[in-house]
Amino acid sequence: MKSLRTLTLAALCTLAASSISHAADTTAAQQLAHWSAQAGSPGNADKGKVFFATRHGGEWSCASCHGTPPTAQGKHASTGKPIAPLAPAFNPKAFTDTAKVDKWFRRNCNDVLSRECTAVEKADVLAYLNALKP
């Protein structure tokens, strides 16, 4: 009986992890709306473009890995690992998983700024990325 419970629990955990890692629970537009609401103002695409291309006292900018504009495959500046296009119009999977969006904003902002991005910065960058069209 105990092994059946263990097996069932393991199966449920695997199923839950699988569904979480493949979840498409949001859209790029919803992410922009969320961060604009957090910022208390709509994202500004022009400010986002400048933020994206600027080194903020460190050795990297967002564009260092994602390219300028971020509409084609990028490449990690230190590992060389390929990075899918960041602009949602060029990558339908971009910004569709809230957990991944939060994780990558946290990591990338820390790499570029040595701190987490503010809600205003996130909204501005998302406004810029959402404005890029083919």
In one letter, which amino acid is 133?
K
Q: What is the pLDDT of residue 12?
A: 41
Query: What is the residue-wise DSSP string for 77-98?
Result: TTT--EE---SGGG-TTTT--H
Residue 21 has what pLDDT? 47
Which pLDDT score is estimated for 15?
41
The CATH class of 28-131 is mainly alpha
HSE-up (13 A, CA, CB side) for residue 3 = 0
Q: C-alpha angle 91/58/117, rounded to 5°?
A: 55
Read off the tokens for 45. 């695409």
Q: Average pLDDT by consecutive 10-residue portion of the chain (134 residues)?
A: 43 43 81 96 97 91 94 91 96 95 93 94 97 96
Residue ranges covered by each domain of the chain: 28-131
Give the global pTM. Answer: 0.81
Work out the end-to-end distance of the chain between its first and last CA atoms, rounded to an integer number of angstroms. Answer: 58
